[in-house]
Amino acid sequence: TDLRVVASTGSTNADLGALAREGAPAGTVLVAEHQTSGRGRLDRTWTTPPRSALTFSVLLRPSDVPPRRWPWLPLLVGCAVVEAIKQTTQLEARLKWPNDVLLADKKLAGILVERNEDAAIVGIGLNVSTRPDELPTDTATSLTAEGADGDRDPLLRAILRTLGSLVDAWQDVSGDPDGLRESYKTRCATLGRRVRILLPDRIVEGMATDVDTDGRLVVQPDDGEAQPFGAGDVVHVR
Ligand code: BTN
C-alpha cells in the first residue's frame, strides 16, 4: 500500500478524492494526524480533537463488481472496523445500521464511503484516546474511555488488513454474497431493536427485523407491512 500521512488537513476524503481524479492507484491510504473539516454521512460534519482520533481514507477501484453488490460496501467497512477492534483490543464493538460503530451503545467510529465513477473513497474516523470531556456529544465514546489503550498504529494496520480481505471477498464475483450478510447481521446492534427512521419527508417507527440481500434495513411498523429502507438516519429507541 501507498500510505501517506499528513499533519493536518480539512478532510482526508476530499483530499483522496482529488488524488483519485489525478489517477492515484487503488490501495492508496491517506492518514491525517488532525482533520479540521471532516465530513460525515448525511451532510454532517465529523469533529475530532487533534491527535486523539484515527482519521484516514482508503482508495478502492473495484472492477466488475455487480451493481447489486455495491450497497454492501459501506456495511462491509463497518464489519472490518469491528473485526479490527476485536483483534487489537478484545472489545466487542457493534454496528448501528448502516455503519456507525458502537461501543457500550455509544458511537466510537463513523464511516463515510463516497463513490465517484470507478473509484470508492472509504473514510473512517475512530475516537481512540479522546477524553470524555473532549467528545462532541454524550452519545459518543472513545477506546480509552472504554478501557482500551490508545495506540493508533496497530489499529490502523489491523483495519487495513481486515478491510483488504473483506473487499477481496466482496469483489470476487464467484464468491458467496451471503457470507457477508450473515457476518454483518451478527455484528448489527440494530436488529431486534425498536427504531425510528428519519426520512426526508417522514418518520417511520417500528421493529428492525432483518437486513435484506441488498443490505437494506427491514422495519416492521406497528401498523402495516414490513418495509426495507436503503437510506435514512436510524435512531435506536429505548
Ligand atoms: C459519520 O459518522 O457520519 C461518518 C464520519 C466519517 C469521518 C471520516 S474521518 C476520515 C474521513 N474524512 C472525512 O472527511 N470523513 C471521514
List residues near ligand 1 (CB under 6 A).
11-13, 35, 38-41, 44, 46, 55-57, 100, 110-112, 123-125
Q: How far apart (Å, rounded) are the C-alpha atoms in residues 171 and 161? A: 16
DSSP 8-class letter at 140 = B
For strands 29-35 and 217-221, give the pairing: unpaired
Q: How far apart (Å, rounded) are the C-alpha atoms in residues 1 and 64? A: 21
Q: What is the pLDDT of residues 17-46, one digit of tens each?
A: 999 999 999 999 999 999 999 999 988 999
Q: How far apart (Å, rounded) are the C-alpha atoms in residues 26 and 121? A: 10
Cα 96 → chain centroid = 10
| Helix, strand, coil percent content, the chain, rounded in steps of 5 | 30, 35, 35
CA-nearest residue, atom 11 of ligand 1? 123
What distance in angstroms lies between residue 123's CA and the mean position of ligand 1's atoms? 5
What distance in angstroms lies between residue 197's CA and the mean position of ligand 1's atoms? 21
- Do residues 179 and 188 touch, judged by C-beta distance below 8 A? no
Indicate yes or no: pTM above 0.90: yes
Q: Which domains does the chain carry? A: 3-187 (3.30.930.10), 194-236 (2.30.30.100)
Q: What is the pLDDT of residues 121-145, one digit of tens each?
A: 999 999 999 999 999 889 999 999 9
- Do residues 136 and 47 touch, judged by C-beta distance below 8 A? yes
ipTM of the complex: 0.99
For strands 29-35 and 3-9, give the pairing: parallel
